[in-house]
Amino acid sequence: MPEAGLFMSLNTGVLGMYTQQMAMSVVAHNIANANTPGFSRQRAVITTMPPLPMQTLTQTNMPISFGTGSKVKDVQRIRDSFLDLQYRQANSKLGFWDEVNTQFQYIEQLVGMLGSTGLRSQYDEFWKAAQQVATTPSSVGAKAEFVQSAKALLEKVQSVYKSLEAMKSNYTHQLEAEAENVNSILKNIADLNVKIRESSVLGNKPNDLLDKRDLLLDKLSKETNFKMVTYKDGEIAITINGINVLSGQKYVPLKFQRINGKPNKSFLSVNNIPLIPTEGKIGALFHLRDKVVSNYESVLNGFMLNLGDKVNTILNQSYDQNGNHGQSLFNFETVPGQTNALYRIESSNPPDGIVYDPRKKLSELFAGISGDVTLNVNGALIKVNANDSLDDLISKVNAAKVGVEFSLAPRGNLVVRATKDDNYDLLRQANGNENPVEIKAVSDGAKALLKSLGFTLKSDYSVDLKHYAEVADETQVLSVSFNNPVLHMSVNSSLLSDPSRVATDFSPQFLPSSAVGTLSPTGEQGSGGMQLIVDLKTYDYDNVTSMDGFFGNFVSKIGIEGQNASAMYNNTSSLVNQIEHDRQEVSSVSINDEMSQMLLYQNAYTASARVISTVNSMIQTLVNMVR
């Protein structure tokens, strides 16, 4: 058994100096990387060396355990994995709302609600011009202003629509670029996995490599949401929406899939499995392109289809100053070779010159109608009876919100229009398949009603929509372009060149207590038709939304969603900043703290050197004694 001696003390001093020297190297590394992005401070873990039992001169039979110094057992990376998880989850949300908020600011500028040339201004000018014509129906100048204001409104809507289309194309290009960015990040992580595994197998702590990988994971979280699993050898696996994109040193690149003829339907895939992240910048781009902007385009299509067709219907049943039937203000063009949507059908009765009073009982308007009048409209049973009116029937159908809107033309013809829920298409064509809206008589009273209105019926007493799809008469049917119908609208060139032909006269005559009246021209002072157009702006009837309501919902939707995006961005930004602050509190390098540690290690190093010097002096004394 060894005995305690000076050489043991000398060895302890040497180990002390070496330990403090290694600890000082860790401090120097921290200070050198104080401003390195993603660097986590490191700490030397100092432990005691194993003690040795030794005999002494005074206790030869009872060994005493003596300490043998210290060593650096490990260099520890100071990192909180829970905070990392919280940060990346919040950062994915921030990446999403950052992009959405930025794009909403652009959308609001694009629509230009408050500017003199904005959509709101053009909308107001149209109704102001219509009111002027209703007030002075014989004024050609007022009619010219009305036609020009319609042209300006349509052009503004088309301009906004084209800009929205351009935004969707830009989002698609960004998706392709972001996919490449994600692939680059995944490749770098896979490469780091290899190095981390090799270092771990050798028993080393790859702290700096882990920092680099964590920095890449932070960047990845800004792009998309993901989940991560860490293996025992230090490698990780990553899944996005449950799809494995990386496992150890192997990664599967995201592929940008194009669809011929539909560039804005492109998507991402992994091993041919569609991948649509819900968070991060990529999730935001999908959300903006496929939901937000597409929805706004659909609303703009519906707005102009609704406004244009209703104005045309009134003009077509009114008379101009020469006593001729009015012309349409808006033209709806279809694209040869492309699918057309059946937007509107109209009953043939009442015929020209006859007017129905929609407030009268059905039994008073039509012979043979009694008792129950029940219609099946898109699966909803609409129940009225012979004592109800056309207004009652229309109100109940529209209240059911079944994808179609019922309304009345000025003479009382029943008009059926497709709504946004059915993509403005009564035939409901999707992927080349038809699933037409169903309007079917369930009771004998309903059969008599549909016949009396003059609808073309199939043998089961349902409205034959396929028949109407082949009808060319725009007073009965309106077919529009299936894709982007607003871009295929124009203002009637005949009215642009001769605005005096704008029809304003609609003056029905009813005998007392009569349900059916007559209609004929009354002259250039007749303004009833134009007043009906003016009423479209504010008049909510039969559960049909006014144009103000339609337009106001569009404007408020943009405002509300924009405010929500701004609020969510601010909230998630604050959350990310707070979590990052907490992470920095744990992991960042504090120069003051490092200087304190440096002085501590310096003093210990100096003291260990003094121990060696002192022991050396003692050894010299001992040597001199035996000479």
Tell me: do 345 and 279 sit in the same domain: no
Q: Tell me the Cα Rg of the chain.
A: 40
- The answer to whether residue 321 is domain-embedded is no
Share of the chain above pLDDT 70, in %: 97
- Count the domains in the chain: 3
Is it the case that residue 181 has pLDDT exceeding 80? yes
- The answer to whether residue 470 is domain-embedded is yes
Work out the widest C-alpha separation in the chain, in whole angstroms.
Answer: 148
Closest among 72, 119, 95 to 182, alpha carbons compared: 95
- The answer to whether residue 144 is domain-embedded is no
Q: Tell me what pLDDT residue 323 has.
A: 92
- The answer to whether residue 256 is domain-embedded is yes
104-129: average pLDDT: 82
Tell me: do 269 and 347 sit in the same domain: no
Tell me: do 439 and 368 sit in the same domain: yes
Question: Which residues are registered as beta bridge partners of 404?
Answer: 418
Tell me: do 348 and 460 sit in the same domain: yes
Tell me: do 264 and 352 sit in the same domain: no
Tell me: do 477 and 343 sit in the same domain: yes
Tell me: do 280 and 202 sit in the same domain: yes
- The answer to whether residue 603 is domain-embedded is yes
- The answer to whether residue 1 is domain-embedded is no
Is it the case that residue 481 has pLDDT exceeding 80? yes
CA-to-CA dists, residue 391 to 294, 394, 402, 409, angstroms = 34, 5, 17, 12
439-447: average pLDDT: 93
329-342: average pLDDT: 89
Q: What is the pLDDT of residues 276-293, one digit of tens each?
A: 999 999 999 999 999 999
460-485: average pLDDT: 88
Query: Of 256, 273, 291, which residue is a domain's last?
Result: 291
Tell me: do 439 and 376 sit in the same domain: yes
Between CA 598 and CA 587 the distance in angstroms is: 18
Q: Tell me what pLDDT residue 544 has.
A: 83
Band of residue 60 on the pLDDT scale cut at 50, 70, 90: low
Query: Of 482, 506, 541, which residue is a domain's last?
Result: 482
Q: Tell me what pLDDT residue 1 has.
A: 47
Between CA 608 and CA 11 the distance in angstroms is: 10
- The answer to whether residue 499 is domain-embedded is no
Mean of the per-residue pLDDT values of the chain: 91
61-78: average pLDDT: 85
Query: Of 467, 482, 497, which residue is a domain's last?
Result: 482
Tell me: do 62 and 183 sit in the same domain: no
Tell me: do 188 and 260 sit in the same domain: yes
> Residue 74's domain spans which residues?
6-78+592-625
Between CA 461 and CA 445 the distance in angstroms is: 12
Closest among 95, 131, 97 to 224, alpha carbons compared: 95
- The answer to whether residue 430 is domain-embedded is yes
Tell me: do 273 and 354 sit in the same domain: no
Contact 219, 92 (CB under 8 A): no
Is it the case that residue 4 has pLDDT exceeding 70? no
Tell me: do 343 and 478 sit in the same domain: yes
